[in-house]
Amino acid sequence: MGKAGAPSGAEAAGAFVVENPWLLRASLAGGTLQARLGSMVAYQGEVTFERSRPGLKRLFKRALTTEGGRLMKVSGTGDVFLAHLARQVYRLRLEDEQVTCNSRHLLAFEEGIEWDIRRVRRGLAGKVAGGLFNTHLAGTGWVALVSEGQPVLLRPADAPTYADPQAAVAWSGALETAFKTDFQARTLIGLGSGESVQMELKGDGWVLVQPSEGSPAAGGSRSRGGGGLLDLILGP
């Protein structure tokens, strides 16, 4: 599996075009795409919208973890303009590759991309917060992400890299993740809501980090509980 190309905010050719820093144009030619529910601001052509059905297993995962935002299926022929709260838009192309993101940063993806909810990694984070969960994307096609403010792209191969889980927008599938805690960090950095849990990223790839932790209650990257049925459904 190759390394996913780094996200880009620049306008370029392709099915997904960044019209401006806050607006994505997705072109359809008889196909379909998945987009964040409510993200359509305009469209041209013959296009239909319907709520996506995630399937029973993913529905349970979403209910138990609050990860995996609601999606809509967009079909037809034309151009669809997508945005979310005037946040900055970035796109990346997957070629039989994988990427992980928090669902609150996911704007849209093409029909060649499969998605699921996965535990980032067991261990310390599971003991502290019941586990950390994100949306896993895999396949071939375009993916569009949004960021609260202009993010920074870090490459863990260059230096030891750590991020607040609430500030990490997305990272390439080749990276390994682990968690460390620093309970004194609660009084030193950020909002004091989850900074004591820091995500470590290792390997040859990239991680996109936004200049905001967002709302402590938003994003749903933490589970409502650990063990039992949750472990049975989500696996390791």
Least confident of 43-52, 76-85, 134-143, 177-186: 177-186
| C-alpha to C-alpha distance for 204 and 80, rounded to whole angstroms | 34
Residue whose token pair is 């895999």:
138
Say if residues 236 and 123 touch (Cβ distance below 8 Å).
no
| C-alpha to C-alpha distance for 232 and 172, rounded to whole angstroms | 26
Percent of the chain clearing pLDDT 90 (strictly above) = 53
Is pLDDT above 90 for 171?
yes
Q: Which residue has the higher pLDDT, 23 or 194?
A: 23
Tell me which residue of 94, 99, 233 sits closest to 177, measured CA to CA: 99
What would the pLDDT profile of 48-104 be if each residue is shown by its tens digit?
999 877 554 545 445 444 544 689 999 999 999 999 999 999 999 999 999 999 888
User: Residue 71 is encoded by which pair of tokens?
Assistant: 């999606």
What would the pLDDT profile of 36-52 be if each residue is shown by its tens digit?
999 999 999 999 999 87
Say if residues 39 and 105 touch (Cβ distance below 8 Å).
no
pTM of the model: 0.77
Residue type (1 letter), 145:
L
Q: Which residue has the higher pLDDT, 38 or 186?
A: 38
pLDDT, residue 196, reads 67
Domains (range + CATH), the chain:
16-218 (3.60.160.10)
212 contacts: CB under 8 Å, gap ≥ 6? 148, 149, 167
pLDDT, residue 103, reads 86
Tell me which residue of 235, 227, 207, 234 sits closest to 129, measured CA to CA: 227
b/e per residue, 147-175, with b = 16+ CB within 10 A?
Answer: bbeebeebbbeeeebbbbbbbbbbbbbbb
Q: 51: buried, middle or exposed (CB in 10 Å: 19+, 13-18, 0-12)? A: exposed
